[in-house]
């Protein structure tokens, strides 16, 4: 059997509406929202009594999605925000047309630049931002 595609990356958030606003400002589109609960959800995730709301955010070209989830039961478990070198899921990188404009638009939604916007040779301008619930996103602006 062959891998077909990467369907989505899941992110648990404290405030679903704020996370939707953040990723909408980044340029993603809300594909839909759904309440998730029931035995099938418990079996899939490996937790009992799941009750959450998810929002599927689609990348404009339609080839990738983020699944944002706000858990009501069992309650979400807090953790320290990851650093760029924390083991596990590192970050999600997005290609953007204008990195400076994107940063400016995301700051009112809580985005914090982790370092600086850096130039990689004559190819890219790159940066990492901390977004909702401390997740790290990367931005890449292709030069030339």
Structure confidence at residue 61 (pLDDT): 87
Chain position carrying tokens 């699944």: 67
pLDDT digits (tens, 9 = 90+) for 55-80: 999 999 888 999 999 999 999 888 88
- Whether 2 maps to a domain, the answer reads no
Q: What is the pLDDT of residues 8-22, one digit of tens each?
A: 999 999 999 999 999
Interatomic CA distance for residues 72 and 49, integer angstroms: 10
Q: How many domains does the chain have?
A: 2
Residue 59 confidence (pLDDT): 94
Is residue 60 assigned to a domain?
Answer: yes
Burial class (CB within 10 angstroms; exposed 0-12, middle 13-18, buried 19+) of 3: exposed
Q: Quick one: 67 and 22 in the same domain? A: yes
Higher-confidence residue: 80 or 44? 44
96 shares a domain with 68: no
Domain coverage including residue 101: 92-142
Residue 4 has pLDDT above 80, yes or no: no
Residues 69 and 113 in one domain: no
- At 73-104, the pLDDT tens digits run 999 888 887 888 888 887 899 999 999 999 99
> The tokens 């609960």 sit on which residue?
37
Same domain, 61 and 14: yes
- Domain CATH number, residue 120: 3.10.180.10
Confidence at 39, pLDDT banded by 50, 70, 90: very high
* Global confidence as pTM: 0.90
Q: Is residue 79 part of a domain?
A: no
103, part of any domain: yes
Predicted local confidence at residue 113, as pLDDT: 95
Q: Which of 134, 57, 135, 138 is nearest to 95 (CA)?
A: 138
Residue 3: inside a domain: no
């Amino acid at each position: 059997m062959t891998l077909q595609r990467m369907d989505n990356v899941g992110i648990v958030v404290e405030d679903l509406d704020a996370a939707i606003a953040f990723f909408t400002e980044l340029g993603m589109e809300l594909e839909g929202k759904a309440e998730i609960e029931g035995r099938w959800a418990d079996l899939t995730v490996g937790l009992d009594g799941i009750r959450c709301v998810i929002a599927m955010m689609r990348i404009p070209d339609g080839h990738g999605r983020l699944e944002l989830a706000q858990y009501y039961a069992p309650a979400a478990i807090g953790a320290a925000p990851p650093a760029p070198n924390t083991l596990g899921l590192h970050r999600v990188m997005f290609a953007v047309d204008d990195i400076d404009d994107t940063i400016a638009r995301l700051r009112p939604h809580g985005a914090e630049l982790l370092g600086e916007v850096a130039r990689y040779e004559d190819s890219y301008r790159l940066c990492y931002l901390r977004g909702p619930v401390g997740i790290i996103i990367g931005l890449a602006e292709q030069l030339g």
